[in-house]
Amino acid sequence: MKLKALNEQVLVITGASSGNGLATARAAVRQGAAVVLAARNHEALQQIQAALQDEGGRVMVVPTDVAEQDAVERLAQAAIERFGGFDSWINNAAAATYGTLEQVPVADHRRAFDVNYFGTLHGCLVAVRHLRQRGGGAIINLGSILGDRAIIQQGPYSATKHAVQALTDTLRMELERERAGISVTLIKPGAINTPYAEHARTFMREPPRLPPPLYDPALVADAVLFACATPRRELYVGGGGILSSLIGQVAPRLTDLAMEVIGTRMQQKPGDPGAADRRDNLHEPRSDGSVHGSQRVHTRKTSLALEAQKLPYVAGGAMALGVGALIGLARVLKPRRVSTRP
C-alpha cells in the first residue's frame, strides 16, 4: 500500500482545538500538509486558524460535534469543496469522565460513547466513502492503552476505547478484504500531558489527573503523521503505556489489586486542579487552544518505544517477537492453581 508524502496531503483532524489534535495540526502545517480542523469551539478554532495561517499554513476550520452524524457529513463536504478532497482522516475527538460506574450518570456514559465511539464511527464511514473513490488514503483512529486494560475511575472512557479498538480492527479487515487501498491505524497513547484531565467531568473529591509517566503531545502528533504516510496497524506512544498494557495482560489479577489500592490516588492531584475555565467540557465546549495541560507535571519529550515501532517491518517484527516471547515466558512462570481434589 502506497500513501502520499505528507506535504502532498490534505488532513481532516477532529478534536483539533486542544491537546493531541492541536499538536497534530501544528506539526502537519509545519511539514507542508493542508489541514481541515474540526471541534465544537468555534472561537478557539478561529484563533488557531489565524495563527497557523500566519505561519503560511493552508488551513480551514469547521465547527463540528462529531457525535452528530450530519455534522461529520458536512465536515467532509467542506473539505471536498475547499481542497478537492482529503487524503487522511484523523479521528481524535474525545470526551471523558472520572468517577465510579455508579457515580457517573447514564447520560454521561452515553455522551462519552456518542463522542468517542460513534464520533469515530461517523468519521470512519465518511472517510471510507471518499477515500474509496479517491483511490486510497489513511484513516487514523486515536485509541488508548485503556483499550487494552481498563483503569479504575475511568470506566466509561476505558469502555469506549475498547470499542474503538474493535471498530478499528473490523474496519481494517473489511477494507483489506476488498483491497481498497486504505490504511487503517490505531494510535494508542499512554498518559499524555494535554488538558484531558481538566476537560473531563469529575465525580471524585480531589482534582483529577493522569497517572505518571506523562508524555508530550508532540509524540502523539509524530505517531499520527507517520501513520498518515506509512501504513501501520497500530502505534503505541510512550514506553510507560506499553509496560502498563503488557502487565495488565500478563498479570490481570495482580493489576486489579494494584489499581484497587493505589489507582484512585494516582489519578488525583490535591491542590492543583488546573485552569478553572477548562473544567468539564463533556456536554459543552470550554476554554481551548492549548496543547498542554496547566497542572504542574513532569513531561517526557521522547519515546524510544515509538521510534522502534517506526522502523521497517523487519525490525518491527523482531520487536514484536521479543515482546511475544516475554509474554509467553511470563505465562509459563505464572503460578498455577493446584487441584486438591482426590
Catalytic residue among 98, 117, 157, 236: 157
Q: β-strands 201-202, 97-98: how paired?
A: parallel
Per the CB < 8 A criterion, the answer to whether 306 and 223 are in contact is yes
Per the CB < 8 A criterion, the answer to whether 35 and 61 are in contact is no
| Three cell numbers, residue 293 | 495541560
Contacts of 265 (CB under 8 A, 6+ apart): none
157 is catalytic: yes
Q: Concatenate the DSSP letters of all residues of 164-230 into one string.
A: HHHHHHHHHHHHHHTT--EEEEEEEE-SB-STHHHHSEE-SSS-B-PPSPEE-HHHHHHHHHHHHHS
Q: Is the peptide bond before 105 cis (omega within 30 degrees of 0)?
A: no
List phi, psi (to 5°) of 293. -75, 165
Residues assigned a catalytic role: 157
